[in-house]
Amino acid sequence: MTDSVVVGAGLAGLVAATRLAHAGQSVVLLAQGLGGLPLSTGTVDILGYAGAPVDHPLRAVAELVRGAPDHPYAVIGPAAVTSGLDWLQALLPELLQGDLKTNVTLPTALGALRPTCLHPPSMAAGAVATGSAAESAIAIVGPHQLKDFGPELCAANLARLLAAAGRETSVTAYRIDLPARPGETDSSPLTYARRLDQADYRQRFAQLVAERLGGETVVGLPAVLGLADPAAWEDLGQLIGRPVFEIGLAPPSVPGLRLHNALTAAARQAGVRIVLGAQATGFRTRGDRLVSLRSHQAGAGRDWPGDHFVYAGGGWESGAFRLDSHGHMVETVFGLPLRGGDVADANIDLLGPDYWQDQELFKVGLEVDRTMRPLGPSKQPVFSNLHAVGSLLAGAVRWSELSGEGIAVGSAQAAAAAILGLEPEKGK
Amino acid sequence: MFEPDSHEYNLLTKVSVDQCLKCTICETQCPVMAVTELFPGPKFVGPQAERFRDGQSVDRSLDYCSSCGTCTLVCPQQVKVAEINSVARAAMKRHHMPLRDRLISRTTAMGALMRPVAPLANAALAWRPLRVLVEQIIGLHRQAAVPRSAGRPFRSWWSHHTPSGAQDKGSVIFFHGCAGNWFEVQTAIEAVQILEHIGFRVIVPKQGCCGMACQSNGLFDDARRQVRRLAADLGQAPADLPIVSIAGSCQGMLKHEAAAILGLSDDPALQDVGQRTHDICQFLLDLAQEGKLPLDWRPNPATVVYHAPCQLKAQAMGQPAVALLRLVPDLQVVESNVTCCGIAGTYGLKKEKYDIAAAVGRPLFDLVEQVSPALVACDTETCRWQLRHHTGARVEHPIHLIHQAYGLG
């Protein structure tokens, strides 16, 4: 008999499943695809913008929920966010460093500055206020054959932004000529990462970079510095003779993939049975309880009975919500009511013409109680043993306020605690 | 190009291509792309190239896809990447199908031809000068792991076999596949002995090839004929009985590939058989979870690496063998978590792909050497041959360990 059935293999699903398995539960995790982490930055955002860039994310979350009771953080509470992220950081110390109370600002591939909180050690030197990059001459270097990274673009924008902030830091771009594999003129970041796991290739890469450098004291490189070897980036720094930092790229995201691989391995290690390709297609109930979930399986499909269910199917982007041509959104597995989804009559533009405006589409989602159970129209849980976590929750535009990982981990923590019969975390 | 409104035409032009967001998750998991620059990846040759194909392939790199199906399995948007690529390759090879690809997809014929001269055939296939010649003439790699004929086929054993056991749990239909009859005969015998030991009456209808080898080589018409015939054969036995399979990949042909790739989704006989077909480990595990499987198993203080075949993972049931083997007292089961062993049916047999297949499987072979060079479990025959060839390990179907646990060995 399965104690908990989890749907979704993104950050929220993997954290919930692993926490439950660590507590001794037998857990099945059903996923339609691999999960979204390979598309993620590999960093953990709690809150990046609240009008202005945020320096102290936990404090900002506490302030945010006072003014925005409809925000997911208002039900999750800062305590669950903190304990969930503390747990995650302790689980993956090689991949996540930083202090939950403080954001860092990291350069992007476009040379913009992006606030985030926990981050891979391989990115730390790039933090423009606290890393080596704070008081240095910066070199931005990339291979000609890596089309997803233009060092000139990155360096020019970064120089402009740092100058505007009153900093006298020089930022210089260099290129090296080294395909990931012989003969390739357009190598994937992933191929570079796999090659940089190999010591001899690392040496050649480092040598070419070192030859290009002038008086720069810190080197920004595309985030391809090893996939399986967590020490590859440090070794490269030593070979180059200067601190190096990784700069995130468009997908496939190597830091995101490292996080995915590590978290999936931890889930398996904890005994979670992961079933891929198992799209949730239906469910059975008894009274107010879910009895089993049905999933796609070649042949006849399959029922997965369980005591508890955690739904971490992602939001609209992941197909958990569907938008029809009349502007009406539905949740696709359970038909759960969506807050903000019935916009046909309200004359609301779900997607406005201005990219930077508050896009209502992304705020549509499930309303939940403090144990993360989706609520019906009368504000009662729809099912007594169904919990929803992550991007399903209504009220946040994660990609513009930079809150996705904090919401995912905090809600997974709250749901796992509720299932395990622990006291729901109280806000401080 | 295919006729408008044919299955192939619809799959290529309409169904799931537009769902592709170009998110690259398939590229992160493609085992072939990771080891060779000859294959630009499932996204590139699939949903991306499809928009430009218009009857012809953009280039021939598609031929380096091994059809392992990993791309479809990991896609978050339900794009049928592998299916698109299988059909596109069939179109590409339509008018110049290599003789080799026609030959190596005849698994039943191969077994039947080798059997009367088994020792000779096995020796000949191990004789290097002959293999060099075969490689030069038809392009079968000189080192490729070709199966060894077991001599006496399973069906001969079966026809002399006297059923044992209480037979009080009802009947099951047994699907052994070509390999179970000609090459992996002991596995088929052990499966029958387990099923009888736990109380089932086993029915073994006449059965031929599932057509997967023809399908993956682009010989769709042959594949359709074969799988339809198999469905008819298996369906002949009393209706509604579960069909229990030891052919981890072939069962996938019955359960979904014939519909998804060959377009036989409206075939009622196939639908019926597909729904009743159970992987043997899943079947036993379900019994165990219902409390109906005797678990008076002997301890086995061994370590085994379990590797899940791609075509088994594609069936979306996870890895039932792992949960089943973990019920054996004292047995340490290490999941390989490696995407693919490289062989992908007949892919790794081909002269131009042998090295790629070996590189794909390298992490798995290394793991076997590190963790349990003595014993590996894997549900599909061709993967077992590849693993034996590259590691020298003893590689068995997981049920071999269950057979041992029951003390039937």
Parent domain of B76: 7-93
Chain B residue numbers with beta carbons less than 8 Å from the beta carbon of A28 are 318
Give B34 to chain A, closest Cα distance, Å: 7
Give this complex's ipTM: 0.92
A204, burial (CB in 10 Å: exposed 0-12, middle 13-18, buried 19+):
middle
B86 and B170 fall within a common domain: no
B387 and B339 fall within a common domain: yes
pLDDT digits (tens, 9 = 90+) for A406-419: 999 999 999 999 99
Residues 193-252 of B with CB under 8 A from A: 252
B304 and B278 fall within a common domain: no
Interface check for A194 against chain B (CB to CB < 8 A): the answer is yes
Q: Of the candidates B33, B315, B323, which has its C-beta nearest A273's C-beta?
A: B323
The answer as to whether B2 is a domain residue is no
B326 and B392 fall within a common domain: yes
B319, burial (CB in 10 Å: exposed 0-12, middle 13-18, buried 19+):
buried
Res. A177: pLDDT tops 70? yes
Residues 333-372 of B with CB under 8 A from A: 335, 337
B214 and B281 fall within a common domain: yes
B319 and B261 fall within a common domain: no
Q: Tell me which residue of A35, A32, A16 sits closest to A309, measured CA to CA.
A: A16
The answer as to whether B146 is a domain residue is no
> Residue B106's pLDDT band (boundaries 50, 70, 90)?
confident
The residues, any chain, with a CB within 8 Å of residue A13's CB and separated by 6 or more, are A6, A7, A29, A31, A35, A310, A312, A389, A390, A412
The answer to whether the CB of B372 falls within 8 A of the CB of B393 is yes
**Per-residue DSSP letter, B76:** T
B302 and B256 fall within a common domain: no
Residues 70-89 of B with CB under 8 A from A: 72-78
Report pLDDT for A129: 84
Residue of chain A minimizing CA distance to B288: A1
3-state helix, strand, coil in chain B (%, to 5): 50, 10, 40
The answer to whether the CB of A208 falls within 8 A of the CB of A179 is no
pLDDT digits (tens, 9 = 90+) for A57-93: 999 999 999 999 999 999 999 999 999 999 999 999 9
- What CATH number does residue B305 fall under? 3.40.50
B277 and B164 fall within a common domain: yes
> Residue A427's pLDDT band (boundaries 50, 70, 90)?
very low
The answer as to whether B178 is a domain residue is yes
B121 and B183 fall within a common domain: no
d(CA A252, CA A37): 10
d(CA A368, CA A76): 9
B228 and B183 fall within a common domain: yes
Interface check for B25 against chain A (CB to CB < 8 A): the answer is yes
The residues, any chain, with a CB within 8 Å of residue B11's CB and separated by 6 or more, are B80, B83, B84, B87, B263
Report pLDDT for B140: 85
The answer as to whether B291 is a domain residue is no
Instruction: Please give the tally of structural domains in chain B.
Output: 4
The answer as to whether B331 is a domain residue is yes
**pTM here?**
0.94
For all residues of chain A together, what is the average pLDDT? 93
Chain B residue numbers with beta carbons less than 8 Å from the beta carbon of A251 are 23-25
Report pLDDT for A428: 34
Chain A residue numbers with beta carbons less than 8 Å from the beta carbon of B277 are 299
The answer as to whether B397 is a domain residue is yes
d(CA A77, CA B248): 47
End-to-end Cα separation, chain A, in angstroms: 37
CA–chain centroid gap for A282, Å, is: 28
d(CA A321, CA A325): 13
Chain B residue numbers with beta carbons less than 8 Å from the beta carbon of A183 are 37
Residues 116-175 of A with CB under 8 A from B: none
Contact B37 A183 (CB under 8 A): yes
Least confidently predicted of A73-82, A115-124, A233-242, A342-351? A342-351
B392 and B277 fall within a common domain: no
- What CATH number does residue B24 fall under? 1.10.1060.10
The answer as to whether B369 is a domain residue is yes
State percent of chain A over pLDDT 90: 84
Q: How far is CA A124 from CA A44, A48, A97, A119, B101, in A?
A: 13, 17, 8, 7, 53
Q: Tell me which residue of A309, A310, A304, A303 sits closest to A289, measured CA to CA.
A: A309
B164 and B269 fall within a common domain: yes
End-to-end Cα separation, chain B, in angstroms: 54
Interface check for B326 against chain A (CB to CB < 8 A): the answer is no
Chain B residue numbers with beta carbons less than 8 Å from the beta carbon of A273 are 318-319, 322-323
In total, the C-beta contacts within 8 angstroms joining chain A to chain B are: 101
Give B286 to chain A, closest Cα distance, Å: 11
pLDDT digits (tens, 9 = 90+) for A364-404: 999 999 999 999 999 999 999 999 999 999 999 999 999 99
Give A148 to chain B, closest Cα distance, Å: 13
Residue of chain B minimizing CA distance to A300: B275
A23, burial (CB in 10 Å: exposed 0-12, middle 13-18, buried 19+):
middle
Contact A268 B274 (CB under 8 A): no
The answer as to whether B228 is a domain residue is yes
Q: Among B114, B138, B162, which residue terminates a domain?
A: B138
The answer to whether the CB of A264 falls within 8 A of the CB of A144 is no
**Strand pairing class (B243-245; B171-175):** parallel
Give B72 to chain A, closest Cα distance, Å: 8
Structural tokens at position A77: 């509470």
**Per-residue DSSP letter, A201:** H
